[in-house]
Amino acid sequence: MIDVELEVLGRARDLAYPETRRAVMTLHDDIRRPTEYHLGWTDVDGTPLGGKGGKGVRTALAIVSAEAAGAPAEVGAPGAVAIELIHNFPLLHDDIIDTDRERRHRPTVWALFGVGSAIIVGDALMALAPQVLLEEVTPERVSATRRLLDATAAMIAGQADDMAFEGADDVSLSACMRMVEGKTGALLAFASSVGAVLAGADIDVVEALESYGRHLGVSFQALDDVLGIWGDPRITGKPVGGDLAQRKKTLPVCAALACERREAAELRALLAGEALDAAAIARASQLVEACGGRAFTEQLAETHLACALDALRSGALDPHAVSELEALARFVTRRDH
């Protein structure tokens, strides 16, 4: 299984990397350098690291989604570039908003190059993504661009929810789910279908892949939320209970707040209180677990993974691509790597 997973990731990266690189090289020097650093291509001083960036799950989804529609992998490449760029711009901006000084065990762009730099680098990547798609004007490229812009808007609305919820005492599970579908689901739905859109696939093929991506996004976010409270900082690269310290209303927290037990009231009061020190954070994570927030969220991740896999049955998709999408879904939702 590992081999299948690595094969598709490596293959997609090899295909998309030169294209992404070509797009990034068109940027202003002072934007390109922080971009190359952020993408993991170079070190702080600009020395090439010899790698091609992160695991490249979104890249692989874009490439395989072209194959799922019966098209050659290359057809998905502009979509792979666009999703890589559009996925990274909010990371640059979020790190400023959350004052996170580290990402993936490295200093964040704002911490290294300054807030101004991180803001305009994010802006530049956001402008570049639709530019890449519209380099050629075909009905398929235009359709992909519209979908990219819609997904971007949905993602930003999800971020707005996320930020608003930090200051809210209570957030319903349905509001939290809406936030997750926007913040994470929209871009994964785009990534998982853009290749098919570029291939001019039938709407039922596109919709099956979108559904797969949206469910996969929710499953991924649910597991990420669990790690945000109970994850090992050495692996996640984030502080213990970091999400709780920021009073984020993640899925486990919203599920816990929705329960009838008296622990939920204690949790609510704790998260609405003044200072959240280490003891308060530890207590809060106990309370979330006692109220079933962890178990609920882990189950939610399972359910949405199953829905994602089910969605692959509903369209007339290429069987080999389906097996790769299945492997990618398991890879994304198994965080021990």
Q: Residue 120 or residue 240: which is nearer to a copy of itself going by CB?
A: 120
Measure the CA–CA gap between 54 and 38, rounded to whole angstroms: 10
Minimal distance, residue 120 CB to a copy of itself, in Å: 6
Measure the CA–CA gap between 251 and 20, rounded to whole angstroms: 33
Residues 226, 229, 231: CA angle, nearest 5 degrees: 75
Minimal distance, residue 177 CB to a copy of itself, in Å: 16
Minimal distance, residue 122 CB to a copy of itself, in Å: 8
Measure the CA–CA gap between 64 and 72, rounded to whole angstroms: 9
Q: Residue 135 or residue 232: which is nearer to a copy of itself going by CB?
A: 135
Residue 165: which H helix or E strand, with range? helix 139-166
Minimal distance, residue 128 CB to a copy of itself, in Å: 7
Q: Residue 56 or residue 130: which is nearer to a copy of itself going by CB?
A: 130
CA distances from 243 to 113, 114, 129, 284 (A): 25, 24, 29, 11
Map residue 106 onto helix, strand or coil: strand
Measure the CA–CA gap between 239 and 245, rounded to whole angstroms: 9
Q: Residue 74 or residue 123: which is nearer to a copy of itself going by CB?
A: 123
Q: Residue 3 or residue 29: which is nearer to a copy of itself going by CB?
A: 29
Using the structure block, give the residue that is written with the tokens 């598709």: 8
Minimal distance, residue 112 CB to a copy of itself, in Å: 15
Site residues, a copy of itself (CB under 8 A): 27-31, 89-90, 93, 96-97, 115-117, 119-120, 122-124, 126-128, 130-131, 134, 137, 139, 142-143, 145-146, 149-150, 152-153, 156-157, 159-161, 163-164
